[in-house]
Amino acid sequence: MSEVERIAALERQVANLTLMVEVSKTLNSTLDLDSLLQIIIKSATELTNTEMASILLVDRASGELRFEAATGAEREALKTLVVPRDNSIAGWVVRENKPLLIRDVQHDPRFYRQVDSATGLATRSILGVPLRFKGQVIGVLEALNKIEGNDFTDEDVQVLTTLAGQAAVAIENARLLAELREQDRLKSQFITDASHEMRTPLTTIKGYLQLILDGAMDAEQQRTSLEIAARNIDVITRLVNDILYLQEMATIRAERVPVEMAGLVREVVAAAQGQARLAGVILRAEIPSGDLPPVSGSRKRLARALANLVENAIKFNTDGGEVVVRLREEASSLRVEVSDTGIGIPAEYLDKIFNRFYRIDSSAPHLARGVGLGLPIAKQIVEEHGGEMHVKSEPGKGSVFSFTLPKT
Ligand code: ADP
């Protein structure tokens, strides 16, 4: 390298370092994820002297690799593009947790061509580096096409890796903040919904008590009014209990002890016989003979989940109907199934009934009206035990709610 080249290289390094300090300041002061991603791709192109840059992030829930930002591209158009992990440059970077430099992309089998069709640009060369946070690869930062046809250098790899290190921390912070804000929003929504739920029975109670106080009722009418008030107090009590239960679940993790499901099913079914008799519904359990392996978890919570399903199966049934609770062993789990011959659930409501406070108005006879927390509580318990909740239903014929629990 000649003296002139060395000085030019040094000047470039100083310029890059100055830019990096600026970028670092901006990254640390930006908490909005979209703006942050835009700043990162802009800095990536400036620092590596490239035409464009893009960011892919690993979806935490599904593990899919998705474009989150790219120079000149609409985020929405990119978002639908899931990049295969096995057959793409970004997938390679995530898997190997290493930078990857490809000078001639069009002849590399790892290049995922659909990206060019989505952005309308032709990729010639790519430098991809992992975005790492606490040792985990959370995504990939890519710089594409060196300007003036130059090749990527080792210095580019270094510069982009440094930027990726800072970018990953900033991205995680922004995501954390977004998550906290979402949790806060859900909490406020919950408080609003719960207050609304409380207001209706309170208004009813107040109304009937006022009628009694007004002195316009005979003894019989007074009695009926008090009965209605008492029933509405029960609704409020149930609501408060369910809210406290959700609160307990959010703060105390389920214990992990071996739970023998056959005994638990018998117990829950026995406890619900009184309710079934009152509703004119036959309730029985079908438990295979012989030993079943235990599951691991909290007996109390699992009993609560099953009791909620059984209670609904009785409540939304018809006089003379039937409820059967079956326990079955499957390859890697135990399955508990609650089937009823009740009113059933129209298909369009099947995914909604697990939302908090959701009830199908048309289906609930007045007395069966609950607070809409039974199913969300049951589902949450099953999921915290590593299981899954399913429902099948046919309006007018009945429903089958079932859940799995991993065998231990
Ligand atoms: P709640 O029972 O307190 O109303 P849930 O969360 O347990 O609340 O259930 C939500 C809604 O789902 C119910 O209001 C009802 O409309 C519907 N549902 C639940 N279980 C059944 C069932 N076995 N058959 C028919 N509808 C049901």
**Count of CB atoms situated within 10 Å of the CB of 119:** 21
- CA distances (Å), origin 130, targets 38, 41, 92, 225, 395: 17, 14, 10, 69, 51
Give residue 283's pLDDT: 98
State how far the Cα of 229 lies from the Cα of 237, in Å rounded to an integer. Answer: 12
**Ligand 1, pocket-test mutation among 237, 348, 353, 389, most atoms within 8 A of CB:** 353
- 133 burial (CB, 10 Å; 0-12 / 13-18 / 19+) is middle
Instruction: Convert the pLDDT of each residue in 120-161 to its tens digit.
Output: 678 889 999 999 999 999 999 999 999 877 789 999 999 999
State how far the Cα of 125 lies from the Cα of 137, in Å rounded to an integer. Answer: 22
pTM for the full model? 0.71
State how far the Cα of 287 lies from the Cα of 328, in Å rounded to an integer. Answer: 7
The model's confidence at residue 241, banded by pLDDT at 50, 70 and 90, is: very high
Instruction: Convert the pLDDT of each residue in 305-335 to its tens digit.
Output: 999 999 999 999 999 999 999 999 999 999 9
Residue nearest ligand 1's atom 21 by CA = 312
**Ligand 1, pocket-test mutation among 371, 375, 380, 403, most atoms within 8 A of CB:** 375
Please give all residues whose beta carbon lies within 6 A of any atom in ligand 1, as ranges: 308, 312-313, 316, 340, 342-345, 353, 358-360, 363-364, 370-376, 399
Q: Are 341 and 366 in contact (CB under 8 A)?
A: no
The minimum-distance atom of ligand 1 relative to the CA of 308 is 7
* Contacting residues for 266 by C-beta, under 8 A, at least 6 apart: 285, 287
